[in-house]
Amino acid sequence: MPKFWSDRPPLYVHRLGRSGEFRGERFATVDEGDEMTIISPDPGPEANGPYACFTMGPFDLSLVGILARASVALARAKIPIFVISTYRYDHLLVPLDRQDEAVQALIEEGFERED
């Protein structure tokens, strides 16, 4: 049974142009060439958020369908997500004010909450 947990402070999504600067703490950075997406606990003036972060893993890269299953459960509950995947973990960001609904949707789908 896949497990998830949420032990991070609320996170914010920042979109910066190629020459943009970000001086805050970073949780994740994706450089797409013409712009960067930065996930941070720092709200900043133009950030999207706040988001609760649910972490799942660690997973082997050969596993199939875990993220899809979580995405479908949250889509059924009409909860938008922003996903960050790393080598071993998937991080699902959901609007902070929908955190409790997201927890319930994942549990109903068979995920186990780990505190």
Q: Is 1 helix (H, G, I), strand (E, B) or coil?
A: coil
SS3 category, 47: coil
The pTM of the full predicted model, rounded to 2 decimals, is 0.91
In CATH terms, the fold of domain 3-113 is: VC0802-like (3.30.2130)
Measured between alpha carbons, how far is 103 from 20 in angstroms, rounded to an integer?
A: 35
User: Could you give the angle at which helices 99-108 and 66-76 cross, rounded to 10 degrees?
Assistant: 120
**Predicted local distance difference test score (pLDDT) of residue 62:** 84
Please, which residues bridge with residue 11 across strands?
Answer: 51
Place of tokens 């050969």: 62
pLDDT confidence of residue 1? 75
% helix, strand, coil for the chain, step of 5: 20, 35, 45
Positions in the chain short of pLDDT 70: none
Q: Report pLDDT digits (tens) over 70-84.
A: 999 999 999 999 999
**Cβ-based burial of 65 (10 A; exposed 0-12, middle 13-18, buried ≥19):** exposed
